[in-house]
Amino acid sequence: MSPPCDCAIPRLVFGGTASGASTAWPAANAGLFFPVEIIERCVAYGAFTASGITAGGNFDLGIFDTTGNKLASTGATARVASSWQSVAMADYTWEPGDYYIGMACDTTGTIIATAPAAGLCEAMGVAKDDTAYSSGLSATVTYVRTTYAYVPVFGFETQSVPI
């Protein structure tokens, strides 16, 4: 069995150097999308996030191409208060290249997140779509530069795959 790869968890974005805190999601139905470069073929077989102290509502975690087309997602998942949530998903094989990984929520319930300095998310290429959630992540999203200073803790569980 191949060792797990870190190709889909860019730690410089997810959590950064600040510790996370229970923070309200920026806006109901909004999605945040983080650019990632996949450097080796790998399979995403699950995803994870950490809910804050206020439960309620749903979230969806997804993989998107650079033009906003959804390639895979966990589907709508109920948030549980103060919980590390691992979510199974259908296997998705990532080929090397550029992608966005996204998270969207249907309420402003809390997620464990960091609040980086103003402008940092925009400088790192983070995008948003304020209407990304409708019973799960939309099949296509429109990337817009974000002014949100918000980085949720989330990512994908992956496994290396020989080419």
So where are the chain's domains? 21-160
Structural element, H or E, at residue 123: helix 120-123
Residue 19 pLDDT level (bands cut at 50, 70, 90)? low
Tokens (6 digits) for 84: 């590390």
Please give the model's pTM, rounded to 2 decimal places: 0.86
pLDDT in tens, 60-69: 999 999 999 9
Measured from the Cβ of residue 121, the count of other Cβ atoms closer than 10 Å reads 23
One of 1.10.357, 2.60.120, 1.20.1630, 1.20.1280 is the CATH number of 21-160, namely: 2.60.120
CB of 95 within 8 A of CB of 41?
yes
